[in-house]
Amino acid sequence: MVLARIAEVLNLSVSYFMADMPSVAATVFYRSFASALAKYRLRAERRLEWLMAITEELQKFIDFPDVAIPQFDLNSEIVDLNDEEIEEVAGKTRKHWGLADGPISDITRLAENQGVVVARHFFDTDRLDAFSYWSNQCSNPFVVLSNDKNCAARSRFDLAHELGHLILHRNIKGYSLSRNADFKLIERQANRFAGALLLPANSFLREVHSLTLDCFVSLKRRWKVSVALMIKRCEDLGVLDDERGQRLWINLGRRGWRKSEPLDDEIEVEQPNYIARCFEVLRDNDANGFKAFIETFPWSASEIEAIAGLPEGMLTPKTMSDESPEPRIIRFPSAVY
The Cβ of residue 297 has, within 10 Å, a number of other Cβ atoms equal to 21
Residue numbers of the chain with a pLDDT score lower than 50: 2-7, 9-10, 14-19, 21, 318-337
Edge-first strand listing for the sheet containing 117-121: 29-30, 130-135, 140-146, 117-121
Q: What integer pLDDT is reported at residue 139 of this predicted model?
A: 81
Helix axes 227-236, 242-254, angle to 10 degrees: 170
Q: What integer pLDDT is reported at residue 35 of this predicted model?
A: 53
- Residue 328 burial by CB count (10 A; 0-12/13-18/19+): exposed, middle or buried? exposed
Q: What integer pLDDT is reported at residue 174 of this predicted model?
A: 57
The b-or-e profile of 76-106 (16+ CB within 10 A means b, else e) is eebeebeeebbbebbbebbebbebeeebbeb
Q: What integer pLDDT is reported at residue 147 of this predicted model?
A: 84
User: Model pTM?
Assistant: 0.84
Amino acid at residue number 56: E
Helix axes 38-58, 274-285, angle to 10 degrees: 40
Q: What integer pLDDT is reported at residue 3 of this predicted model?
A: 39
Q: What integer pLDDT is reported at residue 73 of this predicted model?
A: 82
Tell me the per-residue pLDDT of 198-226, one tens digit each, with 9 for 90 and over.
999 999 999 999 999 999 999 999 999 99
Q: What integer pLDDT is reported at residue 7 of this predicted model?
A: 45
